[in-house]
Amino acid sequence: MALGCSSNTVLHLMAIANAADVELNLNIIDEVSKRTPNLCKLSPFGTDYIEDLYESGGIYGVMDELSKKGLINLDCQTVYLKPIGELIKGKYGGGVIRPIDNPYSPVGGIKVLFGNLAPKGAVVKAAGVLPEMMTATLKARVFNSEEEAYESILGGKINPGDAIIIRYAGPKGGPGMREMLSPTSALNGMKLDTSVALITDGRFSGGSRGAAIGHVAPEAALGGPIAAVEDGDIIEVDIPNGKLNVKLSDEEIEERMKTVVPVKRELEGYLSRYVQHVATADKGACYRKES
């Protein structure tokens, strides 16, 4: 959170917690982000790089500064047979790491969103969202694949004020949640990141920036509300308050879902087995223990 964070971190942590039988959910991640200040702005969201972070004290330097507000458990044991407090003490070197009393933001890089478009949550790298897109009312442009959306972006068919909806890109629908670096890069290159959001049940690269909202759950392939969205629907994004809604009543969504024809990929072999057993994004998109 202090580094700005990749949205993929959420998937990895949820999957690790699942394997370790540790209780973790999106609400806990959101609470951690609320109390962790953003101390770094690393590329592509800033002009600083990993090597600059290293010269400033590295991860230990960040942890040392966070410890000044009691945000690090200094007694936590490490593989070096020393508590983490001993290892990080005095490592803060300033440089590209801001002091904890003067952060880039008082909250962390990740924000979890909920609403009728994402009842089980969605994730955005808030540290990479421009101020003008933190709250927005947009018009839906719906696509059932990344390729379709990318073609429309390059073809000049996306306009300021649009919300690009890419669905059937989640763990089951993709399958596998491949990273959507191409659409976000195209939007940034065309200077549309100041006025267009990209919302998907898939995920993004750590190099993506802009209002890229991913991991929408339940995903379209599981009958999530994102499957009911149509071109022209009004999408309401409120990142500071953690809200993501489509301007439809529950009854309207339910009625539309009756006529939705899910997109199904032709799969065989291991991919077919993967789809049968993969968990939802809000659970880490990991292997489900139950069959």
Count of other CB atoms within 10 angstroms of residue 256: 16
Token pair of 281, please? 């994004």
Cα dihedral 63→67→73→76 (10° resolution): 50
Residue in this structure with the two tokens 């719906």, named with its chain if needed = 142
Catalytically annotated residue among 56, 185, 205, 208: 205
What does the angle CA 262 – CA 265 – CA 271 come to, to the nearest 5 degrees?
Answer: 130
Euclidean distance between CA atoms 105 and 110, whole angstroms: 11
Q: Please tell me the distance from the alpha carbon of residue 176 to that of residue 270, in angstroms, as a whole number.
A: 12
Give Cα separations from 106 to 32, 103, 112, 113, 213 (angstroms). 12, 6, 16, 18, 21
Residue 105 catalytic?
A: no
Matching residue, tokens 């799969």: 267
Active site amino acids: 205
